[in-house]
Amino acid sequence: MLKVESLTKKYRNVVAVDDISFSLNQGDIVGLLGPNGAGKSTTIKTIVGLLRKNAGSITIGSYPSTSQEAKKKFTYVPETPELYDMLTVWEHLQFIAYAYDVANFAEKAERLIERYDLWDKKDKLAKELSKGMKQKVSICCGLLPEPDLYLFDEPMIGLDPKSIRETKLIFKELSEQQKTVLVSTHLLDSIENLCDRVLVMKQGRIIVDMTMEEMKRKLGNSGSVSLEDLFLEVTKDE
C-alpha cells in the first residue's frame, strides 16, 4: 500500500530524514515512534507531498505519491490542525466531501461529529473552537473520505480521554476493515495494543522496524516490562 525507498529529506544542510526505507502492506496499523526531532513529521509530510524529497521514491498503491491517483488513496491529519478560520465545522466536512467525492456524506459526517462530541459545535466557525476541538475536526476530516491509507501525525495530542478512547476504537475498526494506517505518536501505552508493528526513528534513521509480536518476545527476553522501557533503551544516546 505504501512503499518508501531510500528516502532522504534535507532542510538546507540539516538531514532530517536520512535514507530510510520501509513499506506498509494493506491492513497494517503501524506506529511511528521516535524522540522529538527524530524526523517523524518530516517523513509523513514528504510522503503526502507537502515537502519535496531530496532522494528516494515513494509509491502509494502502485502510483508515485505525487500522482493524482495516489492522492485519492490517502488522507493526512497533520501535527497541528490546519483549519479555515471562517468555515464552520460542518462546512469543513462538506468541503472535504466535495474534494474527495464522498458518497452519503451527511450521514457519515453526522456520525463522526457525534462520536467526537462536536454536535453542538457543528455551526461554529473554526476560529471559535478550542485547541482540542480543532484537533477533533481535523481527525473527522481525515476519516470522512474513508481512504485506503491514513497518515496521522500525533492525532491524540490535546484530545480529552473520551476522544482518545474513541480514536483508539476507530483505529481498531480501520484495522478490521483492512485499512492501512501510519500513526506517529509519543503515547506509547496507547499503541501497545493497537499497532501490528512499530517503526522507531532516531536522527533521521529507522533504528527499529519490528512487529508487535517480535517486540513482545524481545521485551520478555530482555526482562524489560514495557514498550516504554524498550523505546528508552533503543533511543538513548551513547
Ligand X SMILES: Nc1ncnc2c1ncn2[C@@H]1O[C@H](COP(=O)(O)OP(=O)(O)OP(=O)(O)O)[C@@H](O)[C@H]1O
**Site residues, Mg ion (CB under 5 A):** 40-41, 79
User: What H or E segment, with its residue span, contains residue 177?
Assistant: none
Is 66 strand, coil or helix? coil
Per the listing, cell 540539516 goes with 14
Which residue number, 3 or 186, has a Cβ lying nearer to Mg ion? 186
Min dist CB 36 to ligand X, Å, is 3
DSSP secondary structure letter of residue 79? S
The entry of ligand X, Mg ion, none that residue 38 binds, CB within 5 to 8 Å by partner kind = ligand X
Which among 145, 137, 151 has a CA at the least distance from the CA of 31? 151
Residues that bind ligand X (CB under 6 A): 11, 14, 16, 34, 36-42
The entry of ligand X, Mg ion, none that residue 11 binds, CB within 5 to 8 Å by partner kind = ligand X
* Helix 89-100 vs helix 131-143: crossing angle, to nearest 10: 20
Which residue number, 41 or 88, has a Cβ lying nearer to Mg ion? 41
Type of residue found at 128: E
Which residue number, 38 or 170, has a Cβ lying nearer to ligand X? 38
Min dist CB 223 to ligand X, Å, is 28
Which residue number, 7 or 144, has a Cβ lying nearer to Mg ion? 7
The entry of ligand X, Mg ion, none that residue 55 binds, CB within 5 to 8 Å by partner kind = none
Calculate the alpha carbon distances from 77 to 181, 209, 230 in Å.
11, 23, 27
